[in-house]
Amino acid sequence: MLVRVRDTGEVMYLPQWEQTFPETSFPNPIPVETLNEFGADVVLDGPYPSCGTYQFVISGPVIEQDGAWYTSFIVVDMDAEQIAAKNQELAANNKATGKQILSDTDWTAIASVADPAESNPYLTNRQEFLVYRSAVRAIVLNPAFDSVFPDEPIEVWSS
């Protein structure tokens, strides 16, 4: 919990504030009224903003609104170096996603799955899965931060 000291305007975590009163034993949890008696106000969580892919959130100043104190946040745009690192992270995530997709659909590449002589029922749209897996494999081999995965075919089985 954060508290704001009225005299100084300083914002600190509750354990730090308690250390300023070494001779006092505070109940746990400390009631708001007790904090107020000792010259402090509770700082409530303000709304956390959403941000885009190339932004991040940092803590802003504590603000007063309608007699209560709130944390605030600032959305910051990434610089060129951070954007490059984020793009590498996104490409690595796309590669990992592609590997998982290939692993999850490996069964469709087994010839007997689509062979009516060996399986009943059998997968009738195996070729769609082969095309799909080929497109996913291309992403795994050359991942980009903006890779777009194709839609996975729906299994169609013989009756």
Q: Are residues 6 and 50 in the same domain?
A: yes
Q: Are residues 61 and 87 in the same domain?
A: no
Which residue ranges of the chain lie beneath pLDDT 50?
Answer: none
- Residue 156 maps to a domain: no
Report pLDDT digits (tens) over 60-101: 999 999 989 999 999 999 999 999 999 999 999 999 999 999
- Name the region of 133 (left: φ>0; alpha: ψ -120 to 50; beta: rest): alpha
Q: Are residues 137 and 115 in the same domain?
A: yes
pLDDT of residue 62: 94
Helix axes 80-104, 126-141, angle to 10 degrees: 150
Whole-prediction pTM: 0.71
Q: Are residues 65 and 89 in the same domain?
A: no
Instruction: Tell me the C-alpha to C-alpha distance, in Å, between residue 122 and each of 103, 105, 114, 116, 147.
Output: 20, 15, 5, 6, 32
pLDDT of residue 1: 85
Q: Which domain holds residue 39?
A: 2-77
Q: Are residues 117 and 128 in the same domain?
A: yes
pLDDT of residue 102: 98
pLDDT of residue 31: 93
- Residue 148 maps to a domain: no
